[in-house]
Structure 1
Amino acid sequence: YVEQVQERMYGFQIAVEFRKPEWLDGRHREGTLAFLRTRDIPYIAVDAPPGHATSMPAVHEVTSSKLAVVRFHGRNHDTWDLQGAPPNLRFRYDYPDTELGEWVPRIKEMERSAKEVHAIMNNNVVRSLQVAADGSRRPGAAISSA
């Protein structure tokens, strides 16, 4: 299916975010990432609450020299697996600076292999957007080493 999407979207950059943890478990991880690498398709690394049946493994590998993507869903353990929870509850999470800071070395590592690294906030807390836009975390800015 991913190959079909890439063919149909010729001329546009696609990226893939997996939603089933099995794609990146110990048995399938290398094959999944190799599939993306051989097609130069960016893998979307996910930050979400760990420890849930639907939580994605912490993988932040670069599969395309053009682009790497990190998507911050928030770490709201209380509503992550809540059946029928609307997005405004499921993704309501205010990232503390310490949790965002965990990603700085990972993103710096990703920058060594990809021309661009995009970080996307997929949560419903305005402060997260303000923090992301502040100082060295503003869109398009290089990450500060300080």
Structure 2
Amino acid sequence: MSVIKVGTSSWADQTLVRSGWYPRAANTPSGRLDYYAGKFPLVEVDTSYYAVPTPETTQGWVEATGDDFTFNVKAYRLFTGHPTPVATLPADLRPSGGPARIRRRDLPPAAYDELWRRFRAALAPIAAADRLGAVLLQFPPWLARGEAARRRIAELADRCRPWRVAVELRHGSWFDGTAALETLAFLREHGLTNCAVDMPQGHPESVPPILIATADLAMVRMHGHSTAWAGGDKEDRFRYAYADRELGIWSELLTELAGQADELHVLFNNCCAGQAQRDAERLAGLLTAGRVPAGAERSSRR
């Protein structure tokens, strides 16, 4: 029987901290992570997209959680082709002069390889503790389907091996008509998890939630359906509360998807003032059918 793990795409964003979801006693970073891990078996590390953490930081995450807790880690944005502020790079790897935001082509090959070495070093404590679920490669909405893009995805995945890799594609060309079958075949051939997304439709960067597993790990990220997706700031884009009916439908769809893989990760990314945590708890309560309720209160681990 497949394992279904439900969690959220952050445990430390400021709107969550201010929302009152954490008790007053959980007033330190490690205390909040400890409390979160008592509620959920899974979290997505979002901060690694903005800057590569240190091994000391990730070791602290391991020590704040139990043996059955899982971290999915989002890859640093420079790796996946997003414009990256130079200031977020380690000081000794920052190119001198030039623009304030760079892309991969702006970094010398030796510095790029070293950045990957440090990213892998940061993940090593999590992997050594057998807590690393997958590395998430979230590609920008302008990465269109094509042979060059496929080579790039495969190259980045190879840099993550032997860890599991999930791929979130955000350009409609990957899933337009018969292209969806080709995309899924490509991911399956390379042993990559198809990261399906629930998101607003009808926008240039919209992709449909393709609920087909391409590896032993399946993954769904729940972005919500905010009406402010186009043109809104980040908080407004993800300000959305799932209705009971929506979560009921999703519980059935996810149960079916779980039957295609050994493990299913469901991450709520409607991170605004604790809404992701509330929705994740509600969904976990619906995912029964003989499975362990992934979001239920969990026993003490220490």
TM-score by length of 1: 0.85
Q: Deviations over 1:7-59 (max 9, x none)?
A: 11112111001111111110411110000011111001110112333221231
Alignment partners' CA distance in 1, 2:173 and 2:198: 16
Q: Which has the higher contact order (CA 8 A, sep 6+)?
A: 2
Runs (4+) of structure 1 moved beyond 3 Å? none
Equivalent residue runs for 1:13-28 within 5 Å = 13-28=164-179
Q: Which residue of the other structure, out of 206, 212, 215, is the alignment partner of 1:61? A: 212
**Of Structure 1 and Structure 2, which has the larger fraction of its residues in strand?**
2
Q: Which residue of the other structure, out of 222, 226, 233, is the alignment partner of 1:86? A: 233
2:122 paired with 1:122: no
The offset of 1:80, in angstroms, is 1.1
Alignment partners' CA distance in 2, 1:58 and 1:3: 22
Alignment partners' CA distance in 1, 2:154 and 2:190: 8
TM-score by length of 2: 0.43
The worse-fitting range, judged by mean Cα deviation, of 120-129 and 39-48 is 120-129
2:184 paired with 1:33: yes
User: Partner of 1:104 in structure 2?
Assistant: 251
Structure 1 residues without counterparts, runs of 5 or longer: none
The answer as to whether partners of 2:198 and 2:208 remain within 8 angstroms in 1 is no
**Of Structure 1 and Structure 2, which has the larger fraction of its residues in helix?**
2
- Matching residue's letter, 2:242: Y
Question: In percent, how many aligned pairs have the same letter?
Answer: 34
User: Partner of 1:8 in structure 2?
Assistant: 159
Q: Deviations over 1:90-140 (max 9, x none)?
A: 111111121122211221111111111000011124233123124x606xx
| Distance of aligned partners of 1:131 and 1:58 in 2 relative to their CA distance in 1, 3 Å threshold | closer
Larger radius of gyration: 2
- Matching residue's letter, 2:186: F
- Matching residue's letter, 2:239: R
The answer as to whether partners of 1:95 and 1:128 remain within 8 angstroms in 2 is no
Q: Which residue of the other structure, out of 263, 273, 280, is the alignment partner of 1:132? A: 280
User: Partner of 1:70 in structure 2?
Assistant: 220
Structure 2 residues without counterparts, runs of 5 or longer: 1-151, 291-302
The answer as to whether partners of 2:268 and 2:279 remain within 8 angstroms in 1 is no
The offset of 1:5, in angstroms, is 1.1
Q: Over aligned residues, Cα RMSD in angstroms?
A: 2.0
Q: How many residues are treated as equivalent by the alignment?
A: 138
The answer as to whether partners of 1:74 and 1:95 remain within 8 angstroms in 2 is yes
